[in-house]
Amino acid sequence: MDNFINLNGRKIKFAFLTTSSIFLIFSFILFVYSYSKGETPDLASLITGVFVAGFVMPAFIIAVAYYEWYRKKRVRLKAFKIPPFDRLEEMGFHKYYVLENSRFFFTEEVKRGEINDFTLICNVERNSPNKIAFRAIAKDKQLDKSEFKKLEHVLKGNNIELDFGALTKAYNLKKIQFMTISDLNTDLEQFTDLLKENGFEPLKENG
């Protein structure tokens, strides 16, 4: 919990104040509507309503968000204990925080490294907890329709997904029992070599 607060203190405050304001405004609208109908709540009900709208509901929403953040953290920690991903530091990967500048998503700790001048972000895939993905950050590449289809065929043939501002190579944790750290390093070097061969250039990020 301490790590969550340390990483997301300002975001938690922003989320609490925002959701509290929304619920209070909604409650005020309901009160005005009821008053216009001649229905005036008693003081105890009014105080309870304000407390629930201004504190209980925002706290509940943040608690749910924290549970999801913690669940994903546990999945990542478990994945990074599986060989050869438990030795990523030997390849120059280190802790890295994503979504730090987002006001609407909580900051998460992943792994970051550099191979063949490409910055690689390593994380568990959001919709596939059994896969670890390496996202190579690349400069935008202008392609016409035929070039895109040709490139897409080449990338898919090498298990690479083309995404907005990045190219991703994923590994199924259930199918890498015999992969060594040397195998992984070689595979990622080939991955980034293929990107360069197809005209992609590394995009340097600050930090």
Task: Give the relative orientation of helices 57-79 and 2-36 as an angle to the nearest 10 degrees.
Answer: 150
User: Is the same domain home to 70 and 89?
Assistant: no
C-alpha–C-alpha distance, residues 55 and 17, integer Å: 9
Give the residue from 30, 45, 78 where a domain finishes: 78
User: Is the same domain home to 37 and 19?
Assistant: yes
- Measure CA of the first residue to CA of the last residue in the chain; give whole Å: 26
Give the residue from 44, 78, 112 where a domain finishes: 78
Of 167, 112, 105, 174, which is closest to residue 136 (Cα–Cα)?
A: 167
User: Taking 80 as the threshold, does the pLDDT of residue 51 lie above it?
Assistant: yes
> Structure tokens of 35?
């008053």
Quote the number of domains for the chain: 2
User: Is the same domain home to 46 and 127?
Assistant: no
User: Is the same domain home to 86 and 180?
Assistant: yes
User: Is the same domain home to 70 and 91?
Assistant: no
Domain assignment present for 203? no
Domain assignment present for 207? no
pLDDT, mean of residues 43-57: 90
User: Is the same domain home to 103 and 189?
Assistant: yes
Query: Which residue's entry shows tokens 């105890």?
Result: 44
- What is the pLDDT, as a whole number, of residue 200? 87
Taking only the tens place, the pLDDT of each residue in 153-179 is 888 888 888 876 679 999 999 888 788
Domain assignment present for 117? yes
Question: How many CA atoms within 13 Å lie on the side-chain side of 125?
Answer: 16
Burial 153-169 (b: 16+ CB within 10 A, else e): eebeeeebebeeebbbb
C-alpha–C-alpha distance, residues 108 and 55, integer Å: 26
pLDDT, mean of residues 46-59: 92
Domain that holds residue 27: 2-78
Taking only the tens place, the pLDDT of each residue in 7-44 is 889 999 999 999 999 999 999 898 888 878 777 778 88
User: Is the same domain home to 104 and 49?
Assistant: no
pTM above 0.75, yes or no: yes
Of 134, 135, 136, 130, which is closest to residue 176 (Cα–Cα)?
A: 130
User: Is the same domain home to 113 and 180?
Assistant: yes
> Structure tokens of 82?
């599986």
User: Is the same domain home to 115 and 155?
Assistant: yes
Give the residue from 78, 105, 129 where a domain finishes: 78
CB 79 within 8 A of CB 124: yes
Taking only the tens place, the pLDDT of each residue in 105-155 is 999 999 999 999 999 999 998 878 899 999 998 888 777 778 778 888 888
User: Taking 60 as the threshold, does the pLDDT of residue 207 lie above it?
Assistant: no
